[in-house]
Structure formats: structure tokens, C-alpha cells
Structure 1
Amino acid sequence: MASHIILPKEEEEEEEVEEGLGVAVEADHDSPEPPRYRHLQPAQKALPFSATCVRISRDSYPNLRALRNASATSLRDDDAAFAKLDEGDYGYVLDDVQHLTDYLPELPTFPNPLQDHPAYSTVKQYFVNADDTVPEKVVVQKNSPRGVHFRRAGPRQRVYFEPEDVKACIVTCGGLCPGLNTVIRELVCGLSHMYNVNDVFGIQNGYKGFYSSNYLPMTPKSVNDIHKRGGTVLGSSRGGHDTHKIVDNIQDRGINQVYIIGGDGTQKGAYEIFKEIRRRGLKVAVAGIPKTIDNDIAVIDKSFGFDTAVEEAQRAIDAAHVEASSAENGIGLVKLMGRYSGFIAMYATLASRDVDCCLIPESPFYLEGEGGLFEYIERRLKENNHMVIVVAEGAGQDLIAKSIPVADQLDASGNKLLLDVGLWLTHKIKDHCKSKKMEMTIKYIDPTYMIRAIPSNASDNVYCTLLAHSAIHGAMAGYSFTVGMVNGRHAYIPFHRVTSTRNKVKITDRMWARLLSSTNQPSFLSKEDIMEAREAERLANRLPVPAGSSEHTKKHSASVLSNEASGDVQGAPTLTLSQLHQPATAVTVPAPPPSATAGTASVTVIDPDDDSGATGPREETPERETGTWQEAEETGRTRDERPMQPETPERMAPPPGNALHARADETAAQAAQDVDAFKPDDG
């Protein structure tokens, strides 16, 4: 059964009469094909998302998490009013972007100027079909649902702006990144050469530049060579975002296309600007181009400038390797960018092949004791006489906070100011070697600003060009969005999808396993990690709450479920202890409980094929209720191939009121005993 997004009967009938809810999405004017989706977003009145429920079958369980990410976990407060979820056959879901006609339904359209452009006259099927979408997940199984899709980027046959009426502005915000000038250049040249737009202005020094009286006129001639320089010709800054003042200036100056280049904080600001523009009913398209050297923007494959950053980071690693190998017991320590995500450190380590240890924020480590960093350093120096350590700037911040108590401070963008893990680790290694009376030489290299201030390489230049052109096509077609590459295809992504979470290194993924294989470093599991793993395993093994359970047990389960829906750690994917020891092992997340609520969103999960008394969906992989994972591997049979256990009265009967809690207490006590047994000799 495909997933269906439905309304309660009485509300559905009322909305269809008053707002036309349930009418199919209007296709682009050039499309001869009938529309394929039902549109759930009224033109004037926002859909009350709290009244929405999701009916989902057992086979479409993998789509549940995607739906939650697209709605329940990210749609809070007024965000629900801007949700556009369209559904189709076989579990297809389109997470659509906002369009001018959502609040200005009577806008006229115009032929796309590219129809008469000599460069595109020989290109067949150049215009994007109205039904073209890009899947968020490309690896699927035979019977799994198609999942969440995004609208494909590219030119439409009809546009909502006359070229002579367009007044566009471009702004860059946040830190520097390779490729900023390339994006600026291609926005200016693309608007001019493809759509004959003459009025393009640059907003200087970030969001606060909107308050300035002087906008910088930009022409193809003025930006011709800027892609050969690092940084941004417009200047950049953090903070300075005042939504009402910014929109006031946009309205006063007659700007109708806004191109915003920046990271997740900047994209949040772009989303606020769009919401205020929509509230005022302005004919303005807002296009966000995500930028972060850390590569931590959600949904997209990668952010521009990342390839250049990894390439430049290798130069620092090469220098550290030369220094380390030229001294007795030499250590080269390189700190790379990565506040919350260690992608630069991981990819630079894999590309270099000279690194002996890589430390990132996603993978905790500890210094002393058995299996700690110091023990590994001693062993590596004895074996090889030198070593290279790469550490991301966000790694080990919890360890630094314990040794150097300091109040949390924030920068202008609201990011926590990090302590220098490179300097701290350098001193710690020196002190340890001195206490062990080991001769050692350590060289610390911090190439942070060298990496981000250089021009983009050839690969990033091409990527920046495609991002800029995709943004132009979308804005001319009347969309407001964030643009990015998803599974190799450029797509228009709703703002809330790229700002609701961060992209992080998955230490259970094969890429991290490849790194561990390359460096031969241990997993650095501490006793706290053991406790967390035991607790995660207990939660993973918990039973669905049967009918007739005590009121206390039901309230407890509802509390756990609420935490899951709100993104609490208990609702995150959980790992067993053995899986933490084996980073390359594929991990299957256990089925979540039956219903969840987050903010104003309400999602009810109904499995019509499940008669066990629990309403939660089931995994497509072997479940614990019908045998252990080891049994499944030994027999070679999946859940669907194994005979189901009969529903005996004992099996169906609910446990006593406090049975689940007693079982949890026993598990916690056993976990404490395991931790005591594991306790290292030192610290």
C-alpha cells in the first residue's frame, strides 16, 4: 500500500469547497502531460498541519523517517504553513518549494527568453518538465517505497518575470570559502547573457549591507576576472540580520530577485526574509545558494569549495609528514576546519594516506588509559619512529572543557566559540611524553585561513557555475528555494530542509571504516561510551507497549516517543556495543513506536497489517521478536521467510505494571558492572 496523506472527513469536505483542496497541482504551461500529484497547500490559507495524519503500510516503513524529517521534525510553529507535501503512487512524496502563485495566484507568465537564444537553439528537451523530480534516496529495494523527492532544477518554458522588469541583488554572508567569486560572476553573467537582465546589484558586507544607501551595480565586464581571486568581491560579515529592515529596503528599491550565498545560518535568514516577503504579498523570488567549507549542509551531496579545501589541506598534511619523518620520534599535528562535522579532516586523511590518526567531532576519543590516544601514540612511535595526526577544530571540545573551565561564548552568527584543540593537544602530548621520559619532537600546523582564502579549483568552478545557473532558472520561474546537488542532480530544496539539521560524518558508514583501515587507529571508546552504548542497546531492545499496560508504563512510553519526535538523543539511530567496535558494519535502526508529535505537527502511524496490538511500523530486516540477529544470519532467512511464532495467550498478555521498569533496572545494573570491568588503569 502506498502512503497517503489525508485529512479528517469533515475538514476535507469543508476545505475542498472553500479552498479547492485536493485539486491536482497545475502543471507548467508548457507541459502537455496531466499532473500526477495531489496538492495539499491552499493558495491563500495555510493547511493546518496539526490536523494531518499519515497512514502508512508495513512495506512502506522506510518512508516514515523521510516523512518525519520532511515534516514533523522540521515543521514547527509557522513553518507548517509553508509545507508543500505532494504524494503519488508507490510511496512517492514530493517535498515541494514555495512559488509566487501560492500567494499571488493571478500572476501572468511570459515565454522564456532562452527559446530565442542562439546558444540553446540546438539543445533538445532543454526545458525541464513539470513532473521532473530528484529522489533523495537512490538506493532502494524491490518492494520499498520511492520516498521523498525534490523539484528538479533547470529552465522552465514559461517564466514569471519580464527581463526588463527584473532588479536582482546578490549578497554573501558568513566566512570565506573557495568559489564565492565564481558564484557571483556566474549569477551576473547568467542573468545578463541568458535572460537579458540589465539591473543586477551587489549588497556589500553581508546582510547589514541592505541597510546601506549604496548598492554596487554589477555587469559582466566588472566581474569578468573575479573568479581568479579568493574571497568575495562583495565583502562578507556575520550577523546583522534584521528581517523587517532588509525587506523594507528590498521593497523600497524595487528588488524582485534576491540571491543569498551563505551557510546554514544565512539560509535560515533567507527563509525568514522569504516569509516576510510572502506576508507582505510581494512579487519577489528568494534563491539561496548554500555555502560552507565544512560541508555540513543537510540534504545536498556537497557544498561548493569543499573539493578545493580538501586539496589544499593535503599540502599542510604533506608538510607535517616531512617534518615528522625528519626527526626522531617526530609528530606532525594538523588542525583542519570542521566545527561540527569532520568531512575535511576525513577526506584529506583518505586522500593523503600519510596520516596515522584522524580525530573528528563525531567520533569521541580519550587520552589516557588502555585504548586511549596516548597509548596509540607510544605504540606508533615505537613501530614507525614518526606519526601524523589530523584533528578537526570541533573534536575533543568536551575534554578541553573539563581541563580548562571557561564560559561559553558565541560569535556574531550565534556559533559557539571553540577553544584551540590543536594547541591543547600539543601541550597534552608534550606533558605525557615528558612524564614517560620519551624524547619527542612535535610540529603544529594550522592552515585554516590558507585553505578558505584561495580561489576554487577547476572542479569547484564548474560546480559553482551550475549552482548559479540553476538558481537563476528557478528564480525566473517564480520559485523560492535553496539550490543544491542531490544524488548528482541539481534540485530546488525547501529552506527548512537544509536548516533543520546538519550533515555529519556517519561513523557507522563504510567511508569511516575506510579511514580506520587506512590509519590503523583504534576506535577510542571510553567508559562513558560504553555506558551510552548499553543504554542505546536497552532502548533498541524495548518492546512495544501492549494494550492493557499500566497507565504509568503508557505515560513513560509516550514521554520517550515525544523525545524521539523532537529530535532528542533517545530518538536518534542507536548502535549496539559490537557495532561501535566495527564502524564499517551496516546498522539497521529499530522500528519507532506508534505515534509522534513535534511542535504543531501531528503524525499517526497506522499499520493495517499488524494485529499484534502495536501500531508501529515494522522493519524490512529480521526483528528481535522473531529471533536474534545471529539466528537470522545462521539460517540465512529473512523475517518474511521465517515462520511467525503463534500468538499464545502468554505472548499476547501484557506484562505487570512495573515489569518493563524492572527489566530496565536489571539492564542498567548489568551495564554498570560491565563498565567497572572495563575501567582503564589510568583515568
Structure 2
Amino acid sequence: MFRIEQLGEPKFKSPLQLSTVRGDKIFNFIKDSDRLVLDLSLEHYNQILHTGEEPPSLEKAGPRQDIFYDPKKVTAAIVTCGGLCPGINNVIRGVVMALHYFYGVKRIIGVPYGYEGLNPEKGHKLVELSPDNVKEIHQFGGTFLGSSRGGQDVSIMVDTLEANNVDMLFAIGGDGTLKGVNAIGEEIKKRNAQISVVGIPKTIDNDIDLIDESFGFETAFDVASPIIRDAHNEATGAYNGIAIVKLMGRDSGFIAASAALAMPVVNFVLIPEMDFSLEGENGFLKALEARLVRKKHALIVVAEGAGQHLFEEKSTVKDASGNIKHSDIGLFLKAKIEEHFADKDITIKYIDPSYIVRSAPANSGDSVYTNRLAYHAVHGAMAGKTKFMACKVNNQYVYIPISEVTKKRKKIDLEGEFWFSVLQSTGQPFFMG
């Protein structure tokens, strides 16, 4: 049933002047009993009717009439972790504005440089946040607070929260950050402390399970689209011109696939979810060869985690977040293509805009999304909910226990309509192996 943990019984009335009556044209408070069914298929509905079981459902996000904290006494903290992503500053701003203007919270702390900022030994000073010092930050990419990868000692981090009288922690990040939020929440629970911990899903890879999408993802493929357009111009500007664009996507190829659909001039999309061979009659190089014979140019978009099985030596080096550092598939492809076409007249351009894409400011779609995520996160925290993530599922804003979304990474379904759309757009074979 995806139940959200509660710190205790709400004892205070919300300062929000909302309604409990339908039809008065004022937004109504959300009740904890307001839930949305997870699986909307008719097949699942008929199965539930047959068995009589209660369907899996999610708690609807939004403001509660009864809240857990006295807003006048609340201290909130915000931390941003992991790699950069469009929209982080929008979330920081949205959380600060919601706490200050909706609930009258006066003390809001910014934690610098990710979870490092909760470890006093690192020497980073906590910063005071206010509407005045965050009001313009949404116009810029990156993170106003700074970020870092990797975790810190959970006990030390909770010590820091308690020492600063923090009542709620908003953590903006991806899979590793969310697992950290859960671990912090478990330590808080052991101490019988009353600190709410909230996750806000940030990753341009869009690989957080169960949810519609993470913020920053839409901007990522939006920013990548004109780069792909220009790469296409490079490819068509030469006889047998080939352009390779490498985009981020360690374990999931959503950016590469979505960018190819948004700018439908791509001829091949290579993603981590697919197996493909370079050599052989049905291999990638033969398909590329046939493409050049037909059209005299080709544009390839490859996700950073694609084709790792092609490397003779498997990478075992990990980054601070514990992720395997992948070998560079873009440079590898370029070398293999040059080798394959050594006796032919070809021109290859290789473009890796990864850090430009991830450090861009949020576009309009992500700006709307980040603000709404921030507001819903604040409403949930004020109600005393903890170890949950504010997110969108089936186009509805809901709260999900963090433990549910960190069980596995979301990946492209190669039998799904989305990937079929990519294949239709590129014209590439279903299989290259």
C-alpha cells in the first residue's frame, strides 16, 4: 500500500486558508485517505474485482489541514547532492519560498556541498537561506549550495541536524542521495527524534523507479536537441560524413532516446539497455555502412553507458557515489568506425556536450515541475511525514516511501512503445548483433 511513515499525531492547524467544502471555488485540504491507484490498466482493475483485494495505491500529495509542527518554531534545512542537473536552484528557491510565505517559517538553513556539509570535520559552514538571497537563483544552472558525491557517517550527520535544531531536511538528489535520506531517517527513528526527512527526485538520467520522470530530464534532452541538430549539419556537410554525439545515461538511455525523438534527424541511438555487436553481417558497422551507401551521411547518438560489453577490460573503478566509471564509448566507437572504413573516404565529428547539458538552467517545463515538487515536499514535511519522496505518478502528484523507489533503477523497456517510437524515428534495425 506504499504507506508513508508519520512522526506523530498532527496537533496544529495549518495556517493555509484553504477549504474543506467542494464547490466553493477554493482549493481543498488533502486528506491522508485521499489515495490514487498505481496500476490504471483495465486488466488490473478486473483482477482486483475478481480477487477482492485492495489495489496498490499512493498517498495524494498536498497541504493537510492538521500539521505536525508549529511553523513559528520550525528550522528547516536543504541539501543538494550528486552531479549537477537543471532545476536544482528552482527547487531550493521553491522550498524556501513555500516554507517562508505559506507557513511563516523563519529559520531555513542551506547545507553546503552535499552531505559533506553535515560533517563538521569537512569545515563547510551552514548558510542561512531567505527569500531575499534565493529570489534570483532559478535563472541559473548548477546549485546555489554546491554539491558533492558520496556519503558521510550517518550518525555524524544526524548529530549535526540535532545540534542545529533542524526539524526537517529536504534532500535534492538521485538514487544515492535518496538512499542516504532513508539511512538518515532510520538513524533519526532509532533516536526517537522528531525530524522529517524528504527526498526530491533529481537526475537527468530519469532512472528513478516508479515515477513519471525526475526533474531536469526534460531540460536535458531539450538542451541536447540543438546540439544534435548542429551535429546533423556537420554530418551532411561532408561526403560520407558521420557525427557521433555522446549524452549522459549511465544505466538508462532516456536522454539519448528522447533527444533523438525531439530532433528526428538521428539515424542510430545506442543505449545501455540494448545489446549490440560491432562486427558481423547484422552488426552496427554493417548497418552504418548500408546507411552511408544510401544517404552519404549518418548521425549517431550514444548514451555514456551503452556498449560497455564491447570493452576487453571491464572497468572496476568507482566514483564517490559507488557507481562504476564507464569506459568512454564515444571515443571507442569513433576509433572502431575509423578502423572499419580505413579504405574509404569518410569524415567523423565527435561531440560530447555532457557537462554543458547538465549545468544548464531549467527550461519552462522543468521550472513548473520543480516548483510544484518543492511545494508538495514542504506540505508533506509540515504534516510530519518522513522518509518519503514528493513526485509525479500517472500525471498526479503523490508521496512515495523512499524505500520503494530505490529498489531498482528505471530503464527503457525495449518492448515498449517509447523505444518502438525511437526505432521508427531513426529507422535503425530492431537488433544489431
Q: TM-score, normalised by structure 1?
A: 0.60
For 2:87, which of 162, 167, 179 is the aligned residue? Answer: 179
Equivalence for 2:404: 497
Change in 2 beyond 3 A, CA 1:407/1:463: closer
The alpha carbon displacement at 1:407 in A equals 4.8
Equivalence for 1:474: 380
For 2:46, which of 126, 137, 143 is the aligned residue? Answer: 143
The alpha carbon displacement at 1:240 in A equals 3.7
1:124 aligns with 2:32: no
Equivalence for 1:164: 72
Q: Residues of 1 paired with 2:146 and 2:213: CA distance?
A: 23
Q: Residues of 1 paired with 2:192 and 2:29: CA distance?
A: 28
Can you list the C-alpha shifts for 1:216-252, whole angstroms capped at 9, x where unaligned? 0010011010000100010000014210000011111
The alpha carbon displacement at 1:125 in A equals 4.4
Q: Residues of 2 paired with 1:144 and 1:108: CA distance?
A: 36
Q: Residues of 1 paired with 2:15 and 2:274: CA distance?
A: 51
1:205 aligns with 2:106: no
Q: Residues of 2 paired with 1:175 and 1:407: CA distance?
A: 20
For 1:272, which of 183, 187, 193 is the aligned residue? Answer: 183
Which consecutive aligned stretches of 4+ in structure 1 deviate over 4 angstroms post-superposition? none
Equivalence for 2:422: 515
1:447 aligns with 2:349: no
The alpha carbon displacement at 1:438 in A equals 1.3
Equivalence for 1:307: 218
Asked which structure has the greater RCO (Cα within 8 Å, sep 6+), the reply is 2
Equivalence for 2:51: none
Q: Provide the aligned C-alpha RMSD in A.
A: 1.4
Q: Residues of 2 paired with 1:429 and 1:525: CA distance?
A: 15
Query: Which residue identity lines up with residue 298 of structure 1 in the other structure?
Result: D
Structure 1 contact 174–262 (Cα < 8 Å) conserved: yes
1:383 aligns with 2:294: yes
The alpha carbon displacement at 1:379 in A equals 0.5
The alpha carbon displacement at 1:135 in A equals 2.1
For 2:306, which of 389, 395, 407 is the aligned residue? Answer: 395
Equivalence for 1:483: 390
Q: Which runs of 5+ in 1 are unaligned?
A: 1-93, 102-106, 527-683
Structure 1 contact 159–476 (Cα < 8 Å) conserved: yes
Equivalence for 1:418: 326
Q: TM-score, normalised by structure 2?
A: 0.94
> Equivalences for 1:531-610 in 2 at 5 Å?
none
Query: Which residue identity lines up with residue 479 of structure 1 in the other structure?
Result: K
Structure 2 contact 10–384 (Cα < 8 Å) conserved: no
Equivalence for 2:192: 281
The alpha carbon displacement at 1:140 in A equals 2.4
SS in 2 for 1:444: strand
Structure 1 contact 202–218 (Cα < 8 Å) conserved: yes
Structure 1 contact 136–299 (Cα < 8 Å) conserved: no
Can you list the C-alpha shifts for 1:155-199, whole angstroms capped at 9, x where unaligned? 010001111110000000000000000000010010000000000
SS in 2 for 1:144: helix
1:524 aligns with 2:431: yes
SS in 1 for 2:397: strand
Can you list the C-alpha shifts for 1:455-510, whole angstroms capped at 9, x where unaligned? 00111001000000000000000101111100111111011111111110000001
Query: Which residue identity lines up with residue 200 of structure 1 in the other structure?
Result: I
Can you list the C-alpha shifts for 1:335-378, whole angstroms capped at 9, x where unaligned? 01100000001111111110011000001110111111111111
Change in 2 beyond 3 A, CA 1:177/1:108: closer
Equivalence for 1:80: none
Q: Residues of 2 paired with 1:168 and 1:193: CA distance?
A: 14
Equivalence for 2:125: 214
Q: Residues of 2 paired with 1:313 and 1:487: CA distance?
A: 26
Q: Which runs of 5+ in 2 are unaligned?
A: 49-53
Change in 2 beyond 3 A, CA 1:223/1:467: same
Q: Residues of 2 paired with 1:108 and 1:357: CA distance?
A: 54
Q: Residues of 2 paired with 1:339 and 1:499: CA distance?
A: 16
Equivalence for 2:163: 252
Aligned residues: 419
Equivalence for 1:363: 274
1:458 aligns with 2:361: no
Query: Which residue identity lines up with residue 46 of structure 2 in the other structure?
Result: N
Structure 2 contact 108–130 (Cα < 8 Å) conserved: yes
Equivalence for 2:228: 317
Q: Residues of 2 paired with 1:407 and 1:496: CA distance?
A: 29
Larger Rg: 1
Structure 2 contact 315–326 (Cα < 8 Å) conserved: no
Q: Residues of 2 paired with 1:316 and 1:525: CA distance?
A: 26
Can you list the C-alpha shifts for 1:65-124, whole angstroms capped at 9, x where unaligned? xxxxxxxxxxxxxxxxxxxxxxxxxxxxx21111112xxxxx55111000289xxxx753
Structure 2 contact 75–167 (Cα < 8 Å) conserved: yes
Identity %: 45
Structure 1 contact 366–524 (Cα < 8 Å) conserved: no
The alpha carbon displacement at 1:139 in A equals 2.1
SS in 2 for 1:143: helix
Equivalence for 1:433: 341
SS in 1 for 2:100: helix
Structure 1 contact 135–487 (Cα < 8 Å) conserved: no
Q: Residues of 2 paired with 1:415 and 1:278: CA distance?
A: 28
Structure 2 contact 284–432 (Cα < 8 Å) conserved: no
Change in 2 beyond 3 A, CA 1:485/1:108: closer
Structure 1 contact 367–373 (Cα < 8 Å) conserved: yes
Change in 2 beyond 3 A, CA 1:311/1:116: closer
Change in 2 beyond 3 A, CA 1:198/1:123: farther
